[in-house]
């Protein structure tokens, strides 16, 4: 397992190392190494660094200063990679935006982060129009750089063309004294009982996301990674940075495709694949194929692999599962099980990475005995690897960070050997196909429907063992609103992954004395629905 060179007992991170510094060093020490293959092009470390300099200079020419926030809403392509590093090179703070978000959720994120600049693919101009107006009305500059589609020459809305940034004078790139303490990313994660929270990630945290992945995946020089991971997620960012720490090559594909997955892996000569919850199940559902055991990859690393899927996946595809656990607040992985099913423990998320203390504790903060469920909490053993809090949200920060510990809201138990088994979430937050989903966000949109009196969202286990969404709805008096119509209306106002699968209409909700819906009394069965979007069928529409 690569640990990266360090003296015994020395820190895992250097105070003179930064993410922009990693790129500069890779370009100087291995200029001809192929960092990435994308759309038939090979991008060397030197080429990447040169392109980043041009775009960083272009951003600076538009008035972007160190500390300014720059929101990015772009698809999975090379320009996104360049902008990722150029924003950091300019000393600005990256605010990644999930390309599936629209409506109130997008307005909130742009308005709350108050960006100086927004960089976006032209195809998102319509969904960004209202968020841009809202942010500017609150005093944000929110200037826009558009990436045009091939062959386009006309901007979709006021702003600038990314192509102009790409030819800016690289010599004009600002001289920035980067530091490991610098705020590099504000990454919005799903809210639980409230709005999404902007996790503040320092430069060192961004480095730690990569280092944890390197340890978990046994990443070695010369490895090739099948790179489908969205860059607006922390696991996409960690892959970009780990390829600077270890001389590997990223083979970029536009998106995850279950049907094309193994042919893409084989064609790329990939040694490693990455997964999040739901991905392995989708691959297992594919028809048997001759590529199942001839794809060439040897390790799959990530988080969210159910115990029963673990063995089935390894047996069918001949690839070793490496399971970990974490969250954006803990620089992605805070625990890892690098031994896989051979040397580790099947179904376990492992033990704390070396720069974290990880405990399972009871309601009073006392460590739980082996086998006793409790909440996972994490503290840093090395400064800078844990978030300092949520951007402009002191209340959420105070709730999560207490006496040096981050309380994750996730349940687990630990065995006598210190290996942790993940049990689920305490929070009112759900997870579907690798996406964290705020029940509050979904409920807010559904409640806006003129025929909905109130609603509540819960997670249910579907036929694949993955989590799906079930919305309980109390209609206004006299309404005959149907599930299909409600979900079609919702799909226009929220991301696809946020749209519930099951709809159940009820007459009344059980509530607390303070009129909060008691979700614990709502059925998590997938048999008692009024509408199922997957089968487009009504069991008892009424």
- What is the pLDDT confidence band of residue 304, given thresholds at 50, 70 and 90? confident
Counted residue by residue, the chain has a size of: 542
Tokens 């390197």 -> residue: 214
For CA atoms 407, 409, 414, 418, give the dihedral sign: negative
Is-contact 45 31, C-beta < 8 A? yes
**Pairing status of strand 183-189 against strand 429-432:** unpaired
Q: 227 and 110, same structural domain?
A: no
pLDDT the model gives residue 512: 59
Q: What is the mean pLDDT of residues 403-416?
A: 94
Is-contact 59 70, C-beta < 8 A? yes
d(CA 40, CA 149): 17
In a domain, 70, yes or no: yes
Q: 105 and 76, same structural domain?
A: yes
Q: 357 and 282, same structural domain?
A: yes
Q: 87 and 62, same structural domain?
A: yes
Higher pLDDT, residue 471 or 511: 471
pLDDT higher than 50, residue 216:
yes
Tally of CA atoms within 13 A in the half-sphere of 430 that contains its CB: 26
What is the chain's mean pLDDT, rounded?
Answer: 91
d(CA 111, CA 96): 14
> SS3 string of 234-252?
HHHHHHHHHHHHCCCEEEE
pTM of the shown model: 0.85
| Model pLDDT for residues 52-62, shown as the tens digit of each residue | 999 999 999 99
pLDDT the model gives residue 307: 83
Is-contact 466 281, C-beta < 8 A? yes
pLDDT the model gives residue 73: 98
Q: 294 and 236, same structural domain?
A: yes
Helix count and strand count (H, E) for the chain: 15, 27
Residue 203 in 3-state DSSP? helix
Tokens of 394: 């002191």
Query: What's the CA dihedral at 358, 359, 360, 363 to 10 degrees?
Result: -120
Q: 257 and 318, same structural domain?
A: yes
| Nearest one of 77, 377, 84 to 234, comparing CA atoms | 84
pLDDT the model gives residue 344: 66
Q: Picking from 293-302, 330-339, 464-473, which range would have the lowest pLDDT averaged per residue? A: 464-473
In a domain, 6, yes or no: no
pLDDT higher than 90, residue 264:
yes
In a domain, 91, yes or no: yes
Residue 346: CATH number of its domain:
3.40.50.12780
Q: Running DSSP on this structure, what letter comes out for residue 214?
A: H
Final residue of a domain: which of 366, 399, 425?
Answer: 425
Tokens of 52: 């980043």
Q: 521 and 454, same structural domain?
A: yes
For CA atoms 133, 139, 140, 146, give the dihedral sign: positive
Q: Structurally, how many domains does the chain consist of? A: 3
In a domain, 197, yes or no: no
| Model pLDDT for residues 143-186, shown as the tens digit of each residue | 999 999 888 889 999 999 999 999 999 999 999 999 999 999 99
Residue 103: CATH number of its domain:
3.40.50.980
- What is the pLDDT confidence band of residue 260, given thresholds at 50, 70 and 90? very high
Tokens of 147: 């990436």
Q: 272 and 355, same structural domain?
A: yes
Q: Picking from 280-294, 412-426, 509-523, which range would have the lowest pLDDT averaged per residue? A: 509-523
Q: 318 and 279, same structural domain?
A: yes
List residues bridging with 390 in a β-sheet: 199
Q: 147 and 64, same structural domain?
A: yes
Final residue of a domain: which of 394, 425, 456?
Answer: 425
| Model pLDDT for residues 83-141, shown as the tens digit of each residue | 999 999 999 999 999 998 899 889 999 999 999 999 999 999 999 999 999 999 999 99
Percent of the chain with pLDDT over 90: 76
| Model pLDDT for residues 359-396, shown as the tens digit of each residue | 999 999 999 999 999 999 999 999 999 999 999 999 99
Q: Which domain holds residue 405?
A: 203-425
Residue 519: CATH number of its domain:
3.30.300.30
Q: 421 and 456, same structural domain?
A: no
pLDDT higher than 90, residue 6:
no
In a domain, 27, yes or no: no
In a domain, 432, yes or no: no
| Model pLDDT for residues 462-495, shown as the tens digit of each residue | 877 778 999 999 999 999 999 999 999 999 999 8
In a domain, 279, yes or no: yes
Tokens 């005093």 -> residue: 139
- What is the pLDDT confidence band of residue 425, given thresholds at 50, 70 and 90? confident
pLDDT the model gives residue 281: 83
List residues bridging with 468 in a β-sheet: 460
pLDDT higher than 90, residue 519:
no
In a domain, 195, yes or no: no
pLDDT the model gives residue 1: 40
Final residue of a domain: which of 369, 400, 425?
Answer: 425
pLDDT the model gives residue 541: 44
Q: 249 and 171, same structural domain?
A: no
């Amino acid at each position: 397992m690569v640990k990266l060179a360090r003296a015994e007992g020395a820190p895992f991170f250097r105070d003179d190392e930064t993410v922009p510094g990693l790129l500069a060093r890779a370009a100087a020490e291995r200029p001809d190494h192929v960092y990435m293959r994308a759309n038939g092009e090979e991008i060397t470390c030197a080429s990447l660094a040169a392109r980043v300099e041009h775009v960083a200079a272009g951003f600076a020419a538009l008035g972007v200063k160190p500390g300014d926030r720059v929101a990015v809403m772009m698809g999975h392509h090379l320009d996104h990679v360049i902008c990722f590093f150029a924003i950091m090179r300019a000393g600005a703070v990256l605010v990644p935006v999930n390309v599936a978000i629209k409506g109130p959720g997008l307005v909130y994120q742009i308005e709350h982060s108050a960006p100086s600049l927004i960089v976006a693919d032209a195809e998102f101009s319509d969904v960004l129009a209202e968020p841009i107006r809202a942010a500017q009305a609150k005093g944000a500059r929110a200037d826009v750089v558009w990436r045009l589609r091939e062959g386009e020459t006309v901007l979709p809305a006021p702003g600038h063309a990314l192509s102009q940034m790409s030819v800016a004078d690289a010599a004009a790139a600002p001289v920035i004294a980067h530091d490991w303490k610098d705020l590099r990313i504000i990454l919005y994660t799903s809210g639980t009982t409230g709005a999404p929270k902007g996790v503040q990630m320092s430069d060192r945290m961004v480095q730690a996301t990569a280092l944890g992945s390197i340890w978990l995946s046994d990443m070695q020089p010369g490895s090739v990674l099948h790179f489908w991971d969205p860059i607006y997620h922390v696991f996409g960012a960690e892959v970009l940075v780990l390829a600077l720490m270890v001389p590997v090559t990223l083979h970029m594909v536009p998106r995850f495709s279950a049907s094309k997955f193994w042919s893409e892996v084989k064609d790329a000569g990939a040694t490693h694949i990455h997964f999040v919850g739901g991905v392995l199940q989708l691959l297992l559902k594919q028809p048997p194929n001759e590529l199942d055991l001839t794809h060439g990859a040897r390790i799959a690393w990530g988080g969210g692999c159910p115990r029963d899927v673990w063995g089935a996946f390894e047996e069918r595809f001949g690839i070793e599962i490496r399971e970990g656990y974490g969250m954006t607040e803990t620089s992605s992985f805070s625990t890892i099980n690098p031994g896989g099913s051979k040397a580790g423990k099947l179904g376990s998320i492992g033990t704390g990475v070396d720069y974290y203390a990880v405990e399972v504790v009871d309601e009073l903060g006392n460590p739980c005995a082996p086998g006793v469920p409790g909440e996972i909490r994490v503290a840093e053993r090395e400064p800078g690897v844990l978030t300092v809090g949520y951007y402009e949200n002191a209340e959420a920060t105070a709730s999560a960070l207490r006496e040096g510990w981050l309380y994750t809201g996730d349940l687990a138990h630990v065995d006598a050997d210190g290996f942790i088994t993940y049990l689920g979430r305490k929070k009112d937050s759900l997870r579907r196909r690798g996406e964290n989903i705020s029940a509050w966000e979904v409920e807010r949109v559904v409640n806006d429907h003129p025929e909905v009196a109130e609603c509540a969202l819960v997670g249910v286990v579907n036929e694949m063992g993955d989590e799906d969404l079930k919305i309980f709805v109390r209609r206004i008096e006299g309404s005959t609103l149907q599930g299909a119509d409600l979900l079609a209306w919702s799909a226009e106002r929220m991301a696809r992954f946020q749209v519930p699968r099951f709809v159940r209409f009820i007459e009344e909700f059980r509530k607390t004395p303070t009129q909060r819906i008691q979700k614990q009394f709502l059925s998590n069965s997938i048999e008692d629905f009024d509408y199922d979007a997957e089968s487009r069928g009504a069991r008892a529409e009424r």
